[in-house]
């Protein structure tokens, strides 16, 4: 749903209420925007953007929501919202505080359940979730906090670390079992893109001014300005 008087349409899009997902999002939300269709247009000296709702009908969609609803008491955040997200989609959600954006993200990440409706995620799809705020009191290491959005990779990474610590104190009887599990976890970690993810995170952090030594420092040791960069 597009709030206000935005009525422009284009190939592959539809006006609110006319597309296949006519009951879309709460009126509190301004728009669900597909990056490829957020195109600045010139109107005299003012550059404006046309906001479009894109209906993804690709059978290879990674995620599909069907008539999901969520309320807190008398406050309805969204009702019978239906949409799909394809593998090449880049989507931004815009709306005021309290309109349900974070709640929807929690549902998509399966951290919360809708009151009604269903959510379908294609097999093999990994959903990552990056917290909006990093607690300055957190003892989590900087690199780990950046990787925390990928729960599957961080879970494997944590288990790998535990096994390596156990190997340092393991007896002969335990050694074979731990080494076998270590090899299996390393294979799964690599298949999940764990090594690539860590490398990419290090490059991004380096570009933000963090040193390699900073990667293994607890988040609590950084000042507010550096925490903002980490977020």
**Which domains does the chain carry?**
31-121 (3.40.50.300), 142-230 (no CATH)
> What is the number of residues in the chain?
231
Instruction: Give yes or no for residue 98 having a pLDDT over 50.
Output: yes
Prediction pTM value: 0.43
- pLDDT average, residue stretch 42-61: 39
Instruction: Please report which confidence band the pLDDT of residue 203 belongs to, taking 50, 70 and 90 as the band edges.
Output: very high
Instruction: Please report which confidence band the pLDDT of residue 8 belongs to, taking 50, 70 and 90 as the band edges.
Output: very low
- pLDDT average, residue stretch 139-151: 79
Share of the chain above pLDDT 90, in %: 13
Q: By CB neighbour count within 10 A (0-12 exposed, 13-18 middle, 19+ buried), where does 163 fall? A: middle
* Per-residue pLDDT at 13: 38
For CA atoms 16, 17, 22, 27, the dihedral sign is positive
Three-state secondary structure call for residue 99: coil
The tokens of 158 are what? 């944590």
Residue 23: Cβ within 10 Å count: 14
Span between the terminal Cα atoms of the chain, in Å = 30
Instruction: Give yes or no for residue 54 having a pLDDT over 80.
Output: no
Instruction: Please report which confidence band the pLDDT of residue 9 belongs to, taking 50, 70 and 90 as the band edges.
Output: very low
Instruction: Give yes or no for residue 31 having a pLDDT over 80.
Output: no
Highest mean pLDDT among 16-25, 35-44, 59-68, 132-141: 59-68
Three-state secondary structure call for residue 186: helix
Share of the chain above pLDDT 70, in %: 69
Instruction: Give yes or no for residue 204 having a pLDDT over 50.
Output: yes
Top pLDDT among 36 and 166 is at 166
Instruction: Please report which confidence band the pLDDT of residue 125 belongs to, taking 50, 70 and 90 as the band edges.
Output: confident
- pLDDT average, residue stretch 34-55: 35
């Amino acid at each position: 749903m597009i709030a206000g008087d935005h009525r422009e349409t284009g190939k592959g899009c539809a006006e609110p209420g006319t597309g296949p997902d006519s009951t879309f999002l709460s009126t509190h939300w301004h728009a669900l925007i597909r990056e490829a269709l957020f195109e600045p247009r010139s109107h005299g000296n003012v550059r404006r953007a046309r906001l479009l709702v894109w209906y993804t009908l690709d059978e290879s969609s990674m995620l599909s929501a069907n008539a999901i609803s969520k309320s807190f008491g008398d406050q309805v955040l969204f009702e019978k919202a239906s949409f799909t997200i394809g593998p090449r989609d880049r989507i931004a959600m815009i709306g005021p505080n309290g309109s349900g954006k974070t709640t929807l993200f929690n549902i998509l990440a399966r951290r919360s359940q809708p009151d009604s409706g269903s959510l379908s995620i294609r097999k093999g799809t990994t959903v990552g979730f990056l917290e909006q705020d990093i607690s300055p009191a957190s003892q989590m290491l900087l690199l780990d906090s950046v990787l925390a959005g990928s729960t599957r990779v961080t879970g494997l990474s944590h288990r790998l670390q535990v096994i390596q610590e156990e190997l340092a104190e393991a007896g002969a009887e335990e050694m074979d079992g731990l080494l076998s599990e270590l090899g299996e976890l390393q294979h799964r970690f690599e298949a999940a893109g764990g090594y690539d993810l860590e490398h990419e995170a290090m490059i991004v952090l380096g570009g933000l001014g963090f040193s390699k030594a900073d990667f293994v420092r607890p988040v609590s040791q950084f000042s507010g300005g550096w925490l903002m960069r980490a977020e």
